[in-house]
Amino acid sequence: MLSIPLLNGQPPQKHTKSIISPTRSIALVDVNNFYASCERLFSPQLEGLPLVVLSNNDGCIIARSQEAKDLGIPMGAAFHMIKDMLKRQDVQVYSSNYALYGDMSARVVSVLKSFTPYLEVYSIDESFLDLTGFSDLHAYSHNIRETILRWTGLPVSVGVGWTKTLAKIANRMAKKEPNFKGVFVMPNDPEDILKRFNVKDVWGVGEKIAMRLKELEINTALDLKQANPRFIREKFSVAVERIVLELRGTQCLSIETKPPPQKGIIVSRSFRKRITNYNHLKDAVTTYTNRAAEKLRRQGLVANKLTVSLRTSPFDMTQKHYANAANFIFSEATMNTPEMIQAAGSCLKKIYKPGLAYQKAGVFLDALENTQMAQRSFFSAPRTKRIKTSTLMRTVDQINATWGRDTVHFAITGRKQDWTMKQNHKSPCYTTRWQELKQVRS
C-alpha cells in the first residue's frame, strides 16, 4: 500500500496573504497521462511499454501512455476497430478502474494541500493552486513536482501564469519541452509563447469556436489576445470574451477553494449488448435510479425533478436512430429511492418504443436542494412519515457502505444482466480492496 507520509514535522508553507501583488500567480498541476500512470504504478514491469485505458464497456480509448501516443494511437478510437493493431504493437490494454484512479487522485490532492491551502480541485487529475506572493515560483514548482513523484509515484506537470487560462498554456509548455523537466513559468512577456500556440488548444476554445475564429483569421493564442474583447463578445459570447481578457492577464476566473453544491446528478450507461426487452430496460433504469439516489443522499441533497433518457446506437445503420427523454416533477423534493424508482418507471413507459434495439439509458436528477432548505408542499406527508422514510434510506446507505454495494437493495436492482458493463481488462483495486490486493500476491 502506498501512503501519504507526514511532512516530517515541518509545518506546511503558509500562503502569505499580506503581500499585495497586482498580479496573481496561479499554478495548474496535473498528472501526466493520469489513468495510464495509475495502472503502471502497480505493474512496474510495464514501464516503457505502450499502454492504453478503455472507457466503460471497453468501448474506446480514453487514456494513453506516452509510448502509446508516440505510436499514433488516437484518443477516442473505438477499441474494436484497432484491437488487432494494438495486439501487433504489443500495447497493454486496461479497462478503466475508477476506484483506483479516485483513490490516487485523493492522495495527490492531499500532498498538494501541504503546499498551499488555496487550491481548487478542478478534475480528477488537475488542481489550480494560488501561489500569489511566493518568491521563487520556479523552485517551488519543482519542489511540488518532486514531492508528488516521491510520495505517490505519479509524474505531474506544473504550469504557472497570472490567470487560469495562462496557467493552462504554461502547463502545456511544461509537458511539451523535455528540457523544462515538467515545470514552466510563463515569462513576463509571453508573446513568443502565445504566437506559437494554436488557438484551438486554448482552454475554453472548442472545435466549433475554433472554426469560427479561423474564419476571422484568428489562428493563434496571440491573435485571440489581441482581438477586441467587445467585438468577440458580440460575435461569440461572454465566455469567449473572458478568454481574451484572461490571455491579457486580467483574471476573470477565480480559484474556487470550496466546491459549489452540485446542480445535477447523472447516472447513464451503455449496455453490454443491445436491449429490446422492456423488462430488461426497466431493470437497468431502476438500477441507475438507485445509484443516483445514493449519490444524492451522500451529498445531503433532495431532487425536485427526475429525467429518464433512452436511445438506440447512433452508429447502428440497421434501424432508424431513436433518442428520447421524459421527466417527472415531484410534488415535493425527495431523496426516497422507491418514490424515484416509481417515477422513473412512468417516464420509461412514456418513451419506450417496442421493436427497437436500445444501446443506452440514463437517469438524471435535477433541481437539487439542500435537505434542510427544501420547500414543503401543501400535501406534504406528515412529519413522522418523512422521518421514517429518511431513517430507512439512511440505514440502507449505511449497511451498503459497511458491507459493500447492494448488500441491501430494492427489488429488481443489483442483478447481473445483459445490460451490465463489459470490463474484460480490469486491473485489481490495489488501494481500496484488500481482497483484490491479496489476489495479486497469491
Partner DNA sequence: TCTGGGGTCCTAGGACCC
| Residues at the contact surface with DNA, assessed by CB under 7 A | 55-57, 59-60, 62, 76, 78-81, 122-126, 168, 202-210, 237-239, 260, 262-270, 273-274, 295, 313, 315-316, 327, 359-360, 362, 367, 421
Cell of 362: 440514463
User: 61-65 long-range contacts, Cβ below 8 Å, gap at least 24?
Assistant: 62/35, 62/96, 63/33, 63/34, 63/35, 63/36, 64/33, 64/36, 65/33, 65/36, 65/37, 65/40
CB of 398 to DNA, least distance (A): 21
CB of 269 to DNA, least distance (A): 3
User: What type of residue sits at position 64?
Assistant: R
In the complex with DNA, the residue whose CB is nearer, 140 or 328, is 328
Helix (H, G, I), strand (E, B) or coil at 317: coil
Beta-carbon contacts of 155 under 8 Å, excluding residues fewer than 6 positions away, are 31, 32, 37, 145, 149, 182
In the complex with DNA, the residue whose CB is nearer, 273 or 425, is 273
In the complex with DNA, the residue whose CB is nearer, 145 or 360, is 360
CB of 393 to DNA, least distance (A): 18
CB of 293 to DNA, least distance (A): 13
Helix (H) / strand (E) element for 127: namely strand 126-130
CB of 283 to DNA, least distance (A): 15
In the complex with DNA, the residue whose CB is nearer, 15 or 166, is 166
In the complex with DNA, the residue whose CB is nearer, 208 or 320, is 208
Helix (H) / strand (E) element for 147: namely helix 137-152
In the complex with DNA, the residue whose CB is nearer, 15 or 27, is 27
CA distance 162 to 173: 15
Helix (H, G, I), strand (E, B) or coil at 11: coil
In the complex with DNA, the residue whose CB is nearer, 45 or 123, is 123
CB of 88 to DNA, least distance (A): 16
In the sheet that holds 358-370, the strands lie side by side as 265-275, 358-370, 301-312, 323-334
CA distance 431 to 108: 14
CB of 292 to DNA, least distance (A): 8
